[in-house]
Amino acid sequence: MKSIETLKIELYADGADKEGIVELYEKPYIKGLTTNPTLMRKAGISNYEEFAKDILKIVIDKPISFEVFTDDLIDMERQALKLASFGENVYVKIPITNSKGISCVSLIDNLAKRGVKLNVTAVMTIKQVKAVAAVLNPETPSIISIFAGRIADCGTDPVPMMTEAAQILGGNKSAKLLWASVREVINIYHAEGAGAKIVTVPHDILAKAIKMIGSDLEKISIETVKMFATDAIAAGYKL
């Protein structure tokens, strides 16, 4: 029977809510955690370094990714090295380009050579995957995050791209392909089937997955009809 525990793919929780991070970190089926500046801002985080160090007092034996947030590649390298110094389990998220469209591959190359654990993020094309794959250090663990959900939002099926990316990265045993920006529970199975090693799941969708995966569909059908009936009665509808 399907359940969250029977998944072969590694589940990473994606969020910046401390309470949620602490709760999910303790779950054995959560293998790692990620966050980003957008999620942190939504969670009301005002001091980046304070937040990261606070979380790392709790998250000590699972990988966690923190992202750089500057456009300048030299300063990006400084931020990356500082974040990496916070803990052995820290992966530094480096975007594939900065916000001006300037490639970060040279920076990724420099950091990889220095042994920094990287999570290359916002990847959207096979061309980008090939560029990153060419400079990753096979001796250092790394993650390549393809934003499959955003690709799907554009009307393109991300599964063929993820499958091809998995083949490109197949020769690097230290690199893991990650399916990012999950939109619904089924995406977890799409990611697993495409050959991704990791899938990041937002806290709300993760809660739905824990509750719904493996459910009896006939039972769900009846519960749905009951919901319609209850709401119709509560609204006082008449025909």
Q: Which value, in Å, is the radius of gyration of the alpha carbons in the chain?
A: 20
Phi and psi at 166, nearest 5°, equal -60, -40
Catalytic pick among 53, 57, 93, 211: 93
State the CB neighbour count (10 A cutoff) for residue 88: 9
- Per the annotation, the verdict on 173 as an active-site residue is no
Contact by Cβ (8 Å): 199, 178 = yes
The letter for the amino acid at 46 is S
Q: Judging by DSSP bridges, how do beta strands 90-95 and 64-67 pair with one another?
A: parallel
State the CB neighbour count (10 A cutoff) for residue 136: 21
**Which residues are designated catalytic?**
93
